[in-house]
Amino acid sequence: MKIRISIITWMLLAFMAAIESCKSKPMEEDATAFSMSDTMMRKCDFYKVGYEDVKNEVRLFGKIEADNNKTAQVFSAVDGLVTSINIGLGDYVKEGEVLATIQSSEVARYEQERLDAINEVAIAEKNLQVQNDLSAGKLNSEKDLKVAESELAKAKANLARLNEIYKIYHFKKGSVFPVIAPISGFITTKQININELLRLNEENPLFSIANISEVWAVAYVNESNIAYIKEGYDVNVNTLAFPDSPYKGKIEKIYNVIDANTKSMKFRVRIPNSDFKLKPDMNCTVSVNYTENKNMLAVPSAAVIFDKSKYWVMVFKDRNNIETRQVEIYRQLGNTSYILSGLSEGETIISKNGLLVYDAIND
């Protein structure tokens, strides 16, 4: 009887050991023999695991602004009556384009001064010719000749001054003053109306023009995050209008002043905007990437598979030897995942379409 009980006990112990062995068997050993086909090999990418500096990011709020160096404020050089306006708010204008015209008595006065200056030059030239002829016959003094030369020089200088004024302000004949666009860009402000009487002491510009082929993303940094902001750091800029189109850039300038009201500091990022999609005063988020004082194993985020509340990667040794390996993630940042444990430097993993292999082996 004791022998039979011992045999039964031994059989129960063996059965329990077999169950425990099945439970502790790693995931990859449960799979039947698997070999990657040539087609699957072509669909997959492979990545050799190595150490990288750990990066992190801080996300900030900001606004899109026009480049101050590519904006222009357009004022009137004369007072007068607005007779025409050729553009509207938000319109694109080219350098040299007439924005508006102003009828002004000052333009007529400048025109008269210029005509008088032309006549003065002509008279001075004739007088100098006469003095030269008299000097040749020794009928005048050298002083008379010098005076004539001086009068001609003064007349020419006065005419050159008036011609320069005409060139700067684009004066035309008559009493019409054309308001000219000094740069190409978009009209961002318009403070002028038809039949409006303008005065020279107007504080506000008639028009503001901004060339937005390049814009600034200006972000606001709280004091707690200032340590993570340095010139040259990479950033990603996202807007509400185009959430699926992030813009990349670098911190170009830091304004090393703390705003007394917001307790924040500003910095700017230059962004190419050749398609003019970004507009001044758009809201945006600016994500600044910075490097921590750590060095860890890093893999492409596409190589990491999340299943059964755990993270896995497919470790590739050869097409007939592929291991499903559990890993512990320190951080996932964009396309990079940093690994705390589960991998070793130099191992090769499947970085593209690893999920296909995972399903084939483990399902």
Q: CB–CB of 48/300 below 8 Å?
A: no
**Cα–Cα distance for residue pair 64/200, rounded to 1 Å:** 33
Please report the pLDDT score of residue 279 as a whole number.
93
Q: Looking at per-residue confidence, does 118 or 131 come out higher? A: 118
Give the residue, 184 or 134, on which the prediction is more confident.
Answer: 184
Q: State mean pLDDT over 324-341.
A: 93
Q: What pLDDT, on a 0 to 100 scale, did the predictor assign at position 208? A: 95
- How much is the pTM? 0.65
Domains present along the chain, CATH in parentheses: 30-55+294-362 (2.40.420.20), 57-68+211-292 (2.40.30.170), 71-210 (2.40.50.100)
Q: Taking a C-beta distance cutoff of 8 angstroms, is the pair 284, 309 a contact?
A: no
Mean pLDDT of 204-211: 94
Strand partners, 48: 348
Identify the band that residue 2 occupies on the pLDDT scale cut at 50, 70 and 90: very low
Gap between the Cα atoms of 10 and 18, Å rounded: 12
Q: How confident is the model at residue 134 (pLDDT cuts 50, 70, 90)?
A: confident
223-278 tens-digit pLDDT = 989 999 999 999 999 999 998 889 999 999 999 999 888 889 999 999 999 999 99
pLDDT in tens, 17-47: 555 554 444 444 444 478 888 898 999 999 9
Q: What is the mean pLDDT of the chain?
A: 87
Residue 72 is predicted with a pLDDT of: 95
Question: Does the pLDDT of residue 151 top 80, yes or no?
Answer: yes
The CA distances from residue 114 to 37, 166, 171, 264, in Å, are: 89, 9, 11, 56
Q: Rounded distance, CA 205 to CA 193, Å?
A: 12
